[in-house]
Chains A and B, each alone.
Chain A
Amino acid sequence: MASSRLEILNDGGLRHDARRPYELRSLSLELSTHPNADGSSTVSQGLTTVSASVFGPREPKQRAGSVHDKASVVVEVGVAPWAGAREVRRTRGDKRLLEIAAAIRQTFEPVIMTHLYPRSEIAVHIQVISADGGILPTAINATTLALVDAGISLIDYVTSLSLGLHLTQPLLDLSAPEEADLPTLVVAALPSGKVTLAQMETRLHVDRFEEMLTLGVEGCGVLKTEMDRVVKDRTTRVVERMDKVIQGRITGD
């Protein structure tokens, strides 16, 4: 295990970036950031920024990809050269990127109501713009928003969060230096509290795991509330503006 001089949690109960254990990083959620896509979003959690574009439902690029009774989901993940992501190589065939892509695809396949779009394809393109820990959870959050933006039917929001354990203290939403030093769990959950994705790669005693899991689900709930607010805000604004336009038309000029 890397022995760095970074203090994960100091005596004042503060993390290296002055957060307390149960505080998530500053969150920014933006919708429709890419005009060319059918739906898009940019999500920043702290210094990790990921943007997602959704194309579809559309005709599959490859014939073989079409399924007769539901839509197929295609996910591709790229990392910008300046992202500063040391944990993944940027080459297309990198196993880790493929794994992230697979995880996102598998997470959303049962969440998207694919049976509504037979013989079509929904393509999600993820671009990691800057990386400071938690690429996968931020990418999942961005994908949810982009799908919502594209107007694709989902059974519910999927939100995701990473969390770690320092001695016996759980820490939520890890930054890159924390991720490097702590056992890390990534959870994605539905608002019902059911877990759609759980990934962990470092050794952790089973007795500690349950606490982490429930805490992760709880954290996902907090993110969902925030996401819901942003989506509704935006929709309200869009509706208001449309109203204005229509009003303008009616009053005629």
Chain B
Amino acid sequence: MMTTAGPSHPPITILKRTRADLGLAQNKFLKKTAKGKVLSFLRERYVRDDIPCGFEGCDQCRDLPGYKPVLQKGYRHTKIDPHYLVIDTNIVLHQMDLLEAFPPDLALIIPSTTIRETRHRSLPLYNRLQQLVQDDERKVWIWWNEERRETATHAEENEGPNDRNDRAIRLTCHFYNQHLPIGHPLIVLLTDDRRNRELAEAEGLVCCNTKTYVDGLVPEVRQDLVDLVVGGVDAEVVTRGRRVYEEYLSQDVLNAGIKTGRFVQGYFNASQYNYLEGTVSGILLAGRQAMNRSVQGDLVVVELLPKAEWRAPGQDVVDADVDQRNDDVENEVEAKEKIQENVGRPVPTGKVVGVVKRNWRAYVCHLDRSSLLPEAQLASLSQQTVFATPLSVTLPRIRLRTRQAPTLVDQKILVTIDSWSPFSRYPDGHFVRALGKVESKEAEQESLLLEYEVPYRPFGKAILNCLPVEGDSWKVPPKGDLVWRDREDLRDLIVCSIDPPGCQDIDDALHARELPNGNIEAGVHIADVSHFVLPNNPMDSEAASRGTTVYLVDKRIDMLPALLGTNLCSLRPFVERLAFSVIWEMNDDAEIVNVRFVKSVIASKEAFTYEAAQNRKDGPLKDPLTQSIRLLNTLAIKLKAARMRAGALSLSSPELKIHLASSESAEPIDVEQKQLRETNSLVEEFMLLANISVAAKIQETFPATAVLRRHGEPPKTNFEALQDILHKRRGMTLDVSSSKALAESLDACVDPQRPEFNTLVRIMATRCMLAAEYFGSGSVSKEAYRHYGLATPIYTHFTSPIRRYADVLVHRQLAAAINYTPLHPSLQSKSHIEKTLNVVNKRHRLAQMAGRASVEFYVGLALKGAARREDAFVIRTFRNGLAVFVSALGLEGLIMFKDIEYDAENYIITVGGVTIGVFDRVRVEVGVEKDKNTQRGKVKMVMIEPVNQTL
């Protein structure tokens, strides 16, 4: 052996190929380039003898690298002797839910061919497979079949890639049969491909399809798994006679059509109000046939209809539940579909002719009670076909077969769509699992997370492996370590943090001191998350896909593992922490003389709550820490004044705080609005300043790829309604010519008798605004960088890298801008930045919605016990009712009346002789009612004064 043994790595060897291996020496394949040229590629390959089989106690493999005794006892089955399962690619592609639900002691052998093909076909499924493989609880063994001599294959003549893969998997079974000692557990090939099964049986292998396999499991296990089998366990799928939808066109025709402009490609967007309508990039799809099996979010191809067939979008609310009440699950009786002739201007109308990419995922549903067989209402365990209605109104009902129908009736369940044949009006799906009883805290919480697509599964092992090995005992290494290179020692600075009470993830700290030249030095220190989260490792990818930490009332779903969030990257007091500091030199008027950015080590001297900091500031102490807070406060006041002068808006959306009796109980005791102190504003001002300074720096250094945040100027028309209401009802005017003008006129909207009035106007104005978003600086022109609400020409998020992914990116860019670390190539690619930020923007939006829904759920719970009577303000009038806002609860609600007179011009309604208009104060009773669709408690309001509806 030619080796030079080094202590740190395995010996360097030359891999000698023997003559016998020559047939397996290379792979040849053709590839088409972007230009359309076909190139032939030759890749070398080797076959090895040192791939371990993973069998417990295998004498031949025990000493091979990577050996682990994973394959132990064979799994018991009613029909098959103790065995291991070998799975093929189709099982992974179609039965993933089943695989995940398999009992952990069911030993699986996954050939690498299966893994590679999955990776090639679907990355999301590949990632789920990886999770499965890395789960230490499970007995999953990867067999590198193409790498091991005995099971390596090469393409035979007239053999397609699929046939070759099947053969490779069968070869794996043969190998194990021969390799394992006599009396070993059976090797069973699990495949749904009939041809493969026939071949396998002919070769003398034991094989099985999923249906039979699951059907023969021991009853306890079988019961949990039957519903997960795609395609159902017993019933063979009968092709139904009537064709409901047109077949999709072939991929080639679609591509050609898109290229010539005959077809349009876009994401399908179902209408919120009408289940028979949807749009794709502005093209109307009217009726089921036109939508042709598209589901919300699918990437579809649309053909435009001739102009004569264009129609106007509907104006009525068409409720699927009411309309489809009589659809039978088993029989496709064609219910007359009434496509109403809508009045109005026809818009471009089209129909879906193909689907490029499905966006199907698991949906939270509940069973449609009416679709259950009457006798099955009793506890019958026979399998039946039922409808599941998704919570979201934009999704179609899903047909599924289950044996547990009776037990699932009052449950929230998770259902996946498997297929949608042109012969079936509804998509077919399968039951994944039950979330729990409707209205139970667990089920509601989980369904909320699923509904808003919040990734909440625990961090996988690969991710946890990215954490420092020292874990909780990690410390800033002593000076001189590589960590200290280019890092400033700021441990002696009087730094403190100010956060809400109970805050665990402290990501910012501050300091201020007077400089000898009379200026003031102020600093913001942010947890150095990018030191721990390195680009492109599993932890980073996970954080990127999570996008943000999601705060629910009683739960926090972290973006990063808790070790970082609440410990290593939390700037706790009295310990040394790594930080990224922004340090300004300011003059007395809080104008920036100089700013620098530096990686540092700090040791916070105190962690204040807003209240404690306020008290300290107002108190008598004169120590440096208190002085530092006072100094910061003075600067913050000046900064805020300057910002207001520039035209920053102080907008309002009510923030609520829910008091829980204890973390365990679900019953909230009280709902109150958050209180704002001077110190809140102090922290806010400095965070804003840090974000602005950082934004300018990274934009200067990376003009094409800097991660920034902007807030577009809302179109003036957005304000027209509000302006009119204010003018007519109060004689006030709102000047929206600029954010400064708007800020000033908002300040003028005061009712001396009613202090809440101003807040109310601000809330209404906020709703006219656009949403702020992250973007890459190269994607829009420089004029569009502006942040309208903050009235600053450039802005980004830098200050909360623990809980926002955009901040992590900004940290990396800033680190590169100050030459601290190289910029990862992914952060240099405009398209990659755009892609990442799109995900982050989406996650932010969904996280906000999830947070709001969670508050709503708890408010609902609080009101469930006893309805409350509260003051409310009218914010809108309708033909049949009022929209009111209850500021004490931060809730908005609709109040419906039967007979009213409606004066749309003056925003007034008259009910029973009483006239009520926008901005009027009313008294309402707030209670809860069950929402038909989501089965979740929903707030319902009834008026008490001036008209009492309860009578």
The complex places the Cα of A104 from the Cα of B23 at a distance, in Å, of 34
Task: Using known A-B contacts A11-B133, A27-B14, determine if residue A18 contacts B43 with beta carbons closer than 8 Å.
Answer: no
Verify A46–B13 contact, CB threshold 8 A: no
Partner among A5, A25, A219 whose Cβ is within 8 Å of the Cβ of B12: A219
Interface residues in B, total, Cβ within 8 A: 37
Interface residues in A, total, Cβ within 8 A: 40
In whole Å, how far is B610's beta carbon from the nearest beta carbon of chain A?
A: 42
In whole Å, how far is B679's beta carbon from the nearest beta carbon of chain A?
A: 42
Task: Using known A-B contacts A12-B144, A16-B43, A226-B14, determine if residue A218 contacts B822 with beta carbons closer than 8 Å.
Answer: no
Give the residues from 200 to 227 in chain A that come closer than 8 angstroms, CB to CB, to chain B. 203, 205, 207, 215, 218-219, 221-223, 225-226
A143 to chain B: which residues have CB within 8 Å?
A: none
Task: Using known A-B contacts A19-B15, A177-B43, determine if residue A11 contacts B9 with beta carbons closer than 8 Å.
Answer: no
- Nearest chain-B residue to A23 (Cβ)? B15
In whole Å, how far is B165's beta carbon from the nearest beta carbon of chain A?
A: 16
A246 within 8 A of B: no
Verify B13–A47 contact, CB threshold 8 A: no
Verify A26–B14 contact, CB threshold 8 A: yes
Task: Using known A-B contacts A12-B142, A13-B65, determine if residue A19 contacts B46 with beta carbons closer than 8 Å.
Answer: yes
In whole Å, how far is B26's beta carbon from the nearest beta carbon of chain A?
A: 7
In whole Å, how far is A232's beta carbon from the nearest beta carbon of chain B?
A: 14
Verify A225–B2 contact, CB threshold 8 A: yes
Give the residues from 1 to 17 in chain A that come closer than 8 angstroms, CB to CB, to chain B. 1, 5, 7, 10-14, 16-17
In whole Å, how far is B107's beta carbon from the nearest beta carbon of chain A?
A: 18
A225 to chain B: which residues have CB within 8 Å?
A: 2
A172 to chain B: which residues have CB within 8 Å?
A: 12
- Nearest chain-B residue to A27 (Cβ)? B14
The complex places the Cα of A16 from the Cα of B120 at a distance, in Å, of 14
Verify A25–B42 contact, CB threshold 8 A: no
In whole Å, how far is B918's beta carbon from the nearest beta carbon of chain A?
A: 55
Interface string of B38-64 (1 = CB under 8 A from A): 000011111110010000000000000
Partner among B44, B65, B537 whose Cβ is within 8 Å of the Cβ of A25: B44
Partner among A22, A170, A222 whose Cβ is within 8 Å of the Cβ of B2: A222
Interface string of A137-181 (1 = CB under 8 A from B): 000000000000000000000000000000100101001010000
Verify B12–A205 contact, CB threshold 8 A: no
A34 within 8 A of B: no
In whole Å, how far is A178's beta carbon from the nearest beta carbon of chain B?
A: 10
The complex places the Cα of A23 from the Cα of B9 at a distance, in Å, of 12
The complex places the Cα of A47 from the Cα of B9 at a distance, in Å, of 26
Give the residues from 93 to 135 in chain B that come closer than 8 angstroms, CB to CB, to chain A. 112, 119-120, 130, 133
- Nearest chain-A residue to B8 (Cβ)? A211
B914 within 8 A of A: no
In whole Å, how far is A155's beta carbon from the nearest beta carbon of chain B?
A: 21
Verify A46–B44 contact, CB threshold 8 A: yes
Verify B46–A22 contact, CB threshold 8 A: no
Verify A222–B13 contact, CB threshold 8 A: yes
A7 to chain B: which residues have CB within 8 Å?
A: 119
Verify B14–A205 contact, CB threshold 8 A: no
Verify B142–A11 contact, CB threshold 8 A: yes
A84 within 8 A of B: yes
The complex places the Cα of A172 from the Cα of B133 at a distance, in Å, of 28
B6 within 8 A of A: yes
B11 within 8 A of A: yes
Verify A132–B12 contact, CB threshold 8 A: no
Verify B142–A26 contact, CB threshold 8 A: no
Partner among A1, A17, A26, A47 whose Cβ is within 8 Å of the Cβ of B16: A26
Verify B44–A47 contact, CB threshold 8 A: yes
In whole Å, how far is A64's beta carbon from the nearest beta carbon of chain B?
A: 43
A-B contact count (CB 8 A): 93
Task: Using known A-B contacts A203-B822, A222-B14, A225-B2, determine if residue A5 contacts B66 with beta carbons closer than 8 Å.
Answer: no
A90 within 8 A of B: no
B146 within 8 A of A: yes
Verify B44–A22 contact, CB threshold 8 A: no
B17 within 8 A of A: yes
Partner among B44, B119, B120 whose Cβ is within 8 Å of the Cβ of A175: B44
In whole Å, how far is A172's beta carbon from the nearest beta carbon of chain B?
A: 6
- Nearest chain-A residue to B152 (Cβ)? A18
A22 to chain B: which residues have CB within 8 Å?
A: 9-13
- Nearest chain-A residue to B485 (Cβ)? A207
The complex places the Cα of A17 from the Cα of B42 at a distance, in Å, of 11
In whole Å, how far is B395's beta carbon from the nearest beta carbon of chain A?
A: 32
Partner among A12, A17, A203, A223 whose Cβ is within 8 Å of the Cβ of B46: A17
A175 to chain B: which residues have CB within 8 Å?
A: 43-44
- Nearest chain-A residue to B52 (Cβ)? A12
Interface string of B49-91 (1 = CB under 8 A from A): 0010000000000000110000000000000000000000000
B147 within 8 A of A: yes
Interface string of A174-195 (1 = CB under 8 A from B): 0101000000000000000000
A24 within 8 A of B: yes
A20 within 8 A of B: yes
Partner among B3, B10, B133, B146 whose Cβ is within 8 Å of the Cβ of A222: B3
The complex places the Cα of A172 from the Cα of B11 at a distance, in Å, of 11
A222 to chain B: which residues have CB within 8 Å?
A: 2-4, 12-14
Verify A14–B65 contact, CB threshold 8 A: no
B482 within 8 A of A: yes
B516 within 8 A of A: no
Interface string of A28-42 (1 = CB under 8 A from B): 000000000000000
B44 to chain A: which residues have CB within 8 Å?
A: 17, 25, 46-47, 132, 175
B822 to chain A: which residues have CB within 8 Å?
A: 203, 205
Verify A12–B66 contact, CB threshold 8 A: yes
B9 to chain A: which residues have CB within 8 Å?
A: 22, 170, 215
B825 within 8 A of A: yes
B17 to chain A: which residues have CB within 8 Å?
A: 26
Verify A24–B15 contact, CB threshold 8 A: yes
The complex places the Cα of A20 from the Cα of B119 at a distance, in Å, of 21
In whole Å, how far is A207's beta carbon from the nearest beta carbon of chain B?
A: 7
In whole Å, how far is A185's beta carbon from the nearest beta carbon of chain B?
A: 15
A170 to chain B: which residues have CB within 8 Å?
A: 9
B48 to chain A: which residues have CB within 8 Å?
A: 18
B16 to chain A: which residues have CB within 8 Å?
A: 26-27
The complex places the Cα of A181 from the Cα of B11 at a distance, in Å, of 24
Verify B144–A23 contact, CB threshold 8 A: no
Verify A207–B4 contact, CB threshold 8 A: no
The complex places the Cα of A92 from the Cα of B133 at a distance, in Å, of 52
Partner among A1, A13, A17, A219 whose Cβ is within 8 Å of the Cβ of B825: A1
A1 to chain B: which residues have CB within 8 Å?
A: 825
Partner among A5, A25, A203, A205 whose Cβ is within 8 Å of the Cβ of B15: A25
The complex places the Cα of A117 from the Cα of B881 at a distance, in Å, of 107
Interface string of B718-742 (1 = CB under 8 A from A): 0000000000000000000000000
A221 to chain B: which residues have CB within 8 Å?
A: 4
Verify B13–A23 contact, CB threshold 8 A: yes
Partner among B6, B45, B66 whose Cβ is within 8 Å of the Cβ of A13: B66
Partner among A18, A21, A132 whose Cβ is within 8 Å of the Cβ of B47: A18
In whole Å, how far is A191's beta carbon from the nearest beta carbon of chain B?
A: 11
- Nearest chain-B residue to A176 (Cβ)? B43
A26 to chain B: which residues have CB within 8 Å?
A: 14-17, 46
A84 to chain B: which residues have CB within 8 Å?
A: 42
Verify A18–B2 contact, CB threshold 8 A: no
A23 to chain B: which residues have CB within 8 Å?
A: 12-15
Given pairs A175-B43, A203-B822, 18 additional interface contacts (CB within 8 A)? A7-B119, A11-B142, A12-B147, A13-B66, A17-B45, A18-B45, A18-B48, A18-B146, A19-B46, A22-B11, A23-B12, A24-B13, A26-B46, A47-B26, A47-B44, A132-B42, A222-B4, A226-B14
What are 29 contact pairs spanning A and B, CB under 8 A?
A1-B825, A12-B66, A12-B147, A13-B65, A13-B66, A16-B43, A18-B144, A20-B10, A22-B9, A22-B13, A23-B15, A24-B14, A25-B15, A25-B44, A26-B14, A26-B16, A26-B17, A26-B46, A27-B14, A27-B16, A47-B26, A47-B42, A47-B44, A175-B44, A205-B822, A219-B12, A222-B3, A222-B4, A226-B14
When A and B form their complex, which 7 residue pairs have the shortest distance between CB atoms, in order from nearest?
Answer: A18-B147, A26-B17, A18-B46, A24-B14, A23-B15, A1-B825, A17-B45
